[in-house]
Amino acid sequence: MPITFYNTLTRSKEAFTSIKPNEAGMYTCGPTIYNYAHIGNFRAYMFEDLVRRYLTFRGYKVNHVMNLTDVEDKLIRTCRETGKPLKEVTDHYARAFFEDIDTLGIWRADAYPAATDHIPEMVELIKALRESGHTYEEKGSIYFKLNTFPNYGRLSHMNLDDLKKGASGRVDADEYEAEEARDFALWKAWDAQDGEVYWETELGKGRPGWHIECSAMSMKYLGPHFDIHCGGIDNMFPHHENEIAQSCCATGESFVNYWLHCAHLMVEGKKMAKSLGNFYTLRDLLNKGLDPLAIRYTLIATHYRQPSNFSFEAVSAASQALRRIRDFRIRLEEVRGEGDELLQECRECEQAFIENMDDDLNISGALGVVFNFIRDVNRKMDDGIVGSAGATHALDLLDQLNQVTGVFAPAMEESVPQDILDRVAARQQARREKKFAEADAIRDGLLQEGWVIEDTADGPRVKRA
Tens-place pLDDT, residues 20-48: 999 999 999 999 999 999 999 999 999 99
Give yes or no for a cis peptide into 238 (omega within 30° of 0): yes
Backbone torsion region of residue 109, taken as left when φ is above 0, otherwise alpha when ψ lies between -120 and 50, otherwise beta: beta
Rounded to 5°, angle at Cα 405 from 226 and 308: 85
Backbone torsion region of residue 152, taken as left when φ is above 0, otherwise alpha when ψ lies between -120 and 50, otherwise beta: beta
Percent of the chain whose predicted confidence (pLDDT) is above 70: 93
Exposed/middle/buried for residue 187 (C-beta within 10 Å: 0-12, 13-18, 19+): buried
Packing angle, helices 388-405 and 312-333, rounded to 10: 150
Residues of the chain with pLDDT under 70: 160-181, 411-415, 456-459, 465
Exposed/middle/buried for residue 261 (C-beta within 10 Å: 0-12, 13-18, 19+): buried
What φ, ψ does residue 37 adopt, rounded to 5°? -65, 145
pLDDT reported for residue 272: 87
pLDDT reported for residue 1: 79
**Side chain identity at residue 140, one-letter code:** G
d(CA 159, CA 153): 6
Instruction: Name residues whose C-beta falls within 8 Å of residue 173's C-beta, 6 or more positions apart in sequence.
Output: 73
d(CA 159, CA 175): 19
Q: pTM (2 decimals)?
A: 0.86
Instruction: Name residues whose C-beta falls within 8 Å of residue 420's C-beta, 6 or more positions apart in sequence.
Output: 446, 449, 451, 462
d(CA 206, CA 186): 11
Other Cβ atoms less than 10 A from the Cβ of 386: the count is: 26
pLDDT reported for residue 276: 80
